């Protein structure tokens, strides 16, 4: 299952998420220079339980390296798809969690989730000599927090079935619950020497839930309110799910599309997904400049198809967010 976007809105740009993604990208480019299969890099910057418990390995690393590895392992990856997958999941789920915690606290939450994830892996594999790298544990913490905070939000999900991709809206508690179950089943069915640290994912997910609860005990400082004034979004999501309805059982369909006040003024292009049972076709929609709240766009031939092959139209009513 590949998440495409969620329907949980945020009003501010997730600067902490983008900063983490930027740092991780720089580290990945550094890896490319040294070679993605450079095992020396994995041992130097990765989390290797044996680095702390097995003397023959431990004696080759300084105390500084051992402490730094607890943090650095989160920013290194084993390949392009490993890096891309982690950053995509952070992009999908991270903005809402940052909006909940605030940008500064989110950075602490992310690092703590990664540390607890690594600690969980260490406790279950204390003498392992295999290096663990990747942001998966920290991002599992983000997903655990999302599971607790936004269980009923919808995740637009791509499910590749042979050559027919299905796009479904799945409730977050189902999407993340299935993800967590898969991690648990893989962890239970694999040995300690497996190439993926499944238990680290589980530890990170649980850590995310616990840290959300603990955050409620920490008083707010007002820093995020000041940051929100600077980072407030000027646009709406490029990909939107349109829930349609018909009138008088006719072939035409009606729905609403959201744009920002800036997009209404200057015009924009959107991708919309129209649910049709188990299949969500995607359409490109051009919003002309100067539209007003309540303006209705007509998409010819995108309504229902009746048995006599008569095709209806799709009418989208513009709703303006953050209207000036």
Shared-domain flag, residues 220 and 245: no
Residue range 55-85, pLDDT digits in tens: 989 999 999 999 999 999 999 998 999 999 9
Shared-domain flag, residues 64 and 177: yes
Selection from 16-30, 240-254, 265-279 with the highest mean pLDDT: 16-30
Shared-domain flag, residues 271 and 214: no
Shared-domain flag, residues 226 and 244: no
Q: 230 pLDDT band (50/70/90 cuts)? A: confident
Are 16 and 98 a contacting pair, CB within 8 Å?
A: yes
Shared-domain flag, residues 58 and 175: yes
Shared-domain flag, residues 223 and 313: no
pLDDT at 160 over 60: yes
Shared-domain flag, residues 306 and 171: no
Give the sheet arrangement for strand 239-241, strand by strand: 239-241, 268-273, 282-287
Output the domain CATH number for residue 264: 2.60.260.20
Q: Which of 231, 252, 272 is the last residue of a domain?
A: 231
Place of tokens 């204390």: 126
Domain range for 92: 2-231
Least confident of 27-36, 92-101, 223-232: 223-232
Chain centre distance of CA 190 = 26
Give the chain's mean pLDDT.
86
Q: What is the mean pLDDT of residues 2-11?
A: 84
Q: 192 pLDDT band (50/70/90 cuts)? A: very low
Q: So what's the pLDDT on residue 299?
A: 83
On whether the pTM is more than 0.85, the answer is no
Place of tokens 């606290």: 105
Shared-domain flag, residues 244 and 144: no
Selection from 22-26, 117-121, 183-187 with the highest mean pLDDT: 22-26
Rounded CA separation 100/14 (Å): 11
Residue range 111-155, pLDDT digits in tens: 999 999 999 999 988 998 989 999 999 999 999 999 999 999 989
Rounded CA separation 15/39 (Å): 32
Shared-domain flag, residues 55 and 185: yes
**CA-based nearest residue to 37, from 128, 131, 125:** 131
Higher pLDDT, 9 or 130: 130
Output the domain CATH number for residue 196: 1.20.1540.10
Rounded CA separation 273/284 (Å): 9
Q: Among residues of the chain, what percentage have pLDDT more than 70?
A: 91
pLDDT at 23 over 90: yes
Q: What is the mean pLDDT of residues 192-209?
A: 81
Shared-domain flag, residues 270 and 296: yes
Q: Which of 199, 214, 231 is the last residue of a domain?
A: 231
Q: So what's the pLDDT on residue 48?
A: 92
**CA-based nearest residue to 93, from 138, 146, 136, 144:** 146
Q: 324 pLDDT band (50/70/90 cuts)? A: very low
- Residue 74's CB is within 10 A of a number of other CB atoms, namely 29
Shared-domain flag, residues 255 and 223: no
* 276 burial level (CB within 10 Å; 0-12, 13-18, 19+): exposed
pLDDT at 194 over 50: no
- What counts of helices (H) and strands (E) characterise the chain? 12, 10
Q: So what's the pLDDT on residue 118?
A: 93
In the chain, the number of structural domains is: 2
Rounded CA separation 11/24 (Å): 25
- Residue 31's CB is within 10 A of a number of other CB atoms, namely 22
Q: What is the mean pLDDT of residues 185-198?
A: 68
Q: Among residues of the chain, what percentage have pLDDT more than 90?
A: 45
Shared-domain flag, residues 317 and 181: no
E strands in 45-195: 154-161, 164-171
Q: Which of 183, 212, 231 is the last residue of a domain?
A: 231
Higher pLDDT, 148 or 191: 148
Rounded CA separation 121/72 (Å): 15
Task: Count how many residues are written for the chain.
Answer: 324
């Amino acid at each position: 299952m590949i998440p495409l976007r969620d329907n949980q809105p945020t009003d501010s740009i997730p600067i902490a998420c983008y900063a983490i993604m930027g740092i991780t990208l720089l580290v990945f480019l550094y890896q490319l220079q040294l070679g993605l299969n450079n095992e020396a890099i994995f041992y130097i910057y990765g989390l290797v339980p044996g680095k702390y418990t097995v003397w023959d390995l431990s004696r080759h690393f300084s105390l500084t390296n051992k402490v730094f590895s607890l943090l650095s392992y989160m920013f290194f990856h084993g390949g392009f798809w490993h890096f891309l997958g982690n950053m995509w999941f952070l992009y999908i789920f991270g903005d809402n969690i940052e909006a909940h915690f605030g940008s500064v606290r989110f950075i602490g939450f992310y690092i703590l989730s990664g540390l607890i994830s690594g600690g969980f892996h260490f406790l279950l594999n204390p003498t392992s000599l295999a290096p663990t790298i990747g942001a998966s544990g920290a991002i599992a913490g983000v997903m655990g927090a999302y599971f607790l905070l936004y269980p009923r939000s919808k995740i637009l999900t791509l499910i590749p079935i042979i050559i027919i991709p299905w796009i479904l809206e799945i409730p977050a508690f189902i999407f993340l619950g299935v993800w967590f179950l898969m991690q648990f089943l893989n962890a239970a069915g694999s040995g300690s020497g497996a190439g993926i640290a499944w238990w680290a994912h589980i530890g990170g997910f649980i850590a995310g839930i616990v840290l959300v609860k603990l955050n409620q005990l920490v008083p707010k400082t007002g820093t995020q309110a000041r940051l929100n004034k600077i980072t407030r979004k000027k646009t709406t999501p490029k990909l939107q799910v349109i829930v349609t309805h018909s009138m008088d059982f006719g072939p035409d369909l009606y729905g609403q599309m959201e744009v920002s006040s800036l997009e209404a003024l200057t015009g924009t292009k959107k991708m919309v997904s129209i649910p049709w049972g188990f299949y969500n076709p995607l359409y490109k929609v051009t919003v002309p400049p100067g539209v007003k709240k309540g303006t209705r766009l007509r998409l010819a031939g995108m309504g229902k198809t009746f048995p006599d092959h008569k095709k209806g139209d799709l009418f989208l009513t513009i709703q303006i967010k953050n209207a000036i």
